[in-house]
Amino acid sequence: MELSAEGLITLTAVLREGTFEAAAASLHVTPSAVSQRIKSLEQSVGRVLVRRTKPVTPTSDGEVLARLGEQWDVLVAEARGELIGAAPEFDGDPRHLPRVELSIACNADSLATWFLPVLAQLHRDHAVALDVNRDDESVTAAMLRAGDVIGAVTSDPIGVRGCATIELGSLRYRPVASQDFIDHWLPSGVRARDMGYAPMVMFDSNDHLQIKMMKQLVAEPISPPVHYIPAAAEYRRAIVAGIGWGAVPEVDLDDEYLGRDLVPLSSKPLDVPLFWQYWKLRSPAVTALTEIIVDHARRSLVPPRRATAAQARPSGSR
């Protein structure tokens, strides 16, 4: 089996652009040349790699080679940076080095709390250009499988083929509301009868974290009214404004501005274990990113040993 760099580059272009025609335009070749390259690659490996739909989607075998193609791009970019840095004509200014493009995925609450310092340190210490995709863990796993991202912060510990998994610790959540909301909707405290009418703020329809928190607050099954606010900052502002109650990271309660108008509904937290899944790739940039993520997670998250069985991971997170 022979794999050409040209074939891998064409495959990643087709999957990135969605059609053979768009991929041809991005590669500055004809659509027939793109089609021939894909057929040649499929014949070489003896597998169908893409579904000829609109948009084009990879088969499970195509996902493997798409990930390889993206890895090739990262390694080539790193090699280019090293060669330019060693070239006699290089002026010595690190700002002029070519940047390695890294695409990663992260859940919204991590991005809004502990993960931005990770990106800041990586950008400060390494010549990289970052593309951060924010979504729930089921989508980030699909991004890893398809090779769209080199790594993902996720609440899903099930490893993606070809990726390594590191347990980072847990992001701790507390159920909160504004005092005005509590006075109006929960004057007698957190009771199932009142919670069934008290509006709840959810991130989106996949916010299983919120559902698990609700079940932790009241034993009886309830179906309260729901407001969907799919943005981390606006989600918190909605709770402060009294639109509903919701679960927020504990670190927000310690913030001088975010936490001052949020009142806990319970002293019992909910810990969501987080994992870093990333390509098994000998890349200086990926290695550096992984080391920085692990270092910041140890300083910002609840250590794994403190998470109890009663606080098992929810089936989704934000």
**Cα(76)–Cα(45) distance, integer angstroms:** 23
Q: Give the pair of three-digit tokens for residue 286.
A: 């990926």
pLDDT for 89 equals 57
Backbone angles phi, psi at 154, to 5 degrees: -145, 160
* Residue found by looking up tokens 């507390």 in the block: 174
- Is the Cβ–Cβ distance between 226 and 246 less than 8 Å? no
Q: Give the pair of three-digit tokens for residue 197.
A: 């009418």
pLDDT digits (tens, 9 = 90+) for 142-186: 777 777 788 999 888 887 777 899 999 999 999 999 999 999 999
Task: Report the CATH number of the 1-98 domain.
Answer: 1.10.10.10
pTM over 0.85: no
Q: Which residues of the chain have pLDDT under 70?
A: 1, 77-98, 136-139, 258, 305-318
**Cα(115)–Cα(1) distance, integer angstroms:** 41
The residue extents of the domains of the chain are 1-98, 103-318
pLDDT for 85 equals 55
Q: Give the pair of three-digit tokens for residue 288.
A: 């550096």
- Strands 100-106, 246-249: pairing is unpaired
Topology of the domain comprising 103-318: D-Maltodextrin-Binding Protein; domain 2 (3.40.190)
Residue 153's closest CA among 300, 282, 254, 11? 300
How crowded is the C-beta side of 1, counted as CA atoms within 13 Å? 9
